[in-house]
Amino acid sequence: MKEEEKFQIRPIISPSDKEFKNKVGAEAWEKIKSKTFRDNNFKCQGCGFEPYDVPAEKVLDVHLVIENENDPIDSEFRTTCVLCHVIEHADAAISQGYVALVNSKFSQGELVNICRNGALSSHVEDGDIRYLRKTLPEFLEELKDGRSLEGKVKFVFTEKYLKKLGINS
Ligand SMILES: [Zn+2]
Ligand SMILES: [Zn+2]
């Protein structure tokens, strides 16, 4: 089992990192960030992405997984790349049109790498990645109600979002 497969990104609604950051303050957040990066060996826990020619802070984020209300500093955090972080906040990603729903044999981490490498359209042509008929607002409602089929529905990035990042799909 590859390291990145231990953790599977699933579309859920995550707590806001920004609100958390405001709560603990900039200084504590910086400490949390460097500790989380170190703990995760400067590697995205969703897709395995490791920056090699750019500073980690530029391309990696820290995602608040579960907040410890009694001791926020001791909450659960995870290192993610920018793309996986978008998926962690599925509700926002959907409402901003950054992602589309698919069925695929690929894991979510693999799908992220396919998008990053500009290979999305060729996999769609081959039928390895199939867009779902369900609309994003329908799925968002299911997410809110907890009715979504966890792990069965996966995300790819929309052309609009990939263009924004400078990636040709
Ligand atoms: Zn990633
Ligand atoms: Zn986050």
pLDDT in tens, 12-58: 567 788 889 999 999 999 999 999 999 999 999 999 999 988 888 88
Q: How remote is the CA of residue 91 from the centroid of ligand 1, in Å? A: 18
The verdict on 129 and 69 lying in the same domain is no
What's the predicted TM-score (pTM) here? 0.83
Query: Residue 68 belongs to what domain range?
Result: 9-88
The verdict on 84 and 96 lying in the same domain is no
Nearest listed ligand to the Cα of residue 110: 1
d(CA 15, CA 84): 15
Q: Give me the sign of the Cα torsion angle 67, 19, 84, 82.
A: negative
The residue from 67, 88, 109 where one domain ends is 88
In angstroms, what CA-CA distances link 137 with 12, 95, 141, 143?
Answer: 14, 8, 6, 10
Q: How remote is the CA of residue 122 from the centroid of ligand 1, in Å? A: 21
Residue reference for tokens 């995550």: 14
Q: pLDDT tens, 60-100?
A: 999 999 999 899 999 999 999 999 999 988 888 888 889 99
Q: How many CB atoms lie within 10 A of CB 43?
A: 19
Q: How remote is the CA of residue 70 from the centroid of ligand 1, in Å? A: 29
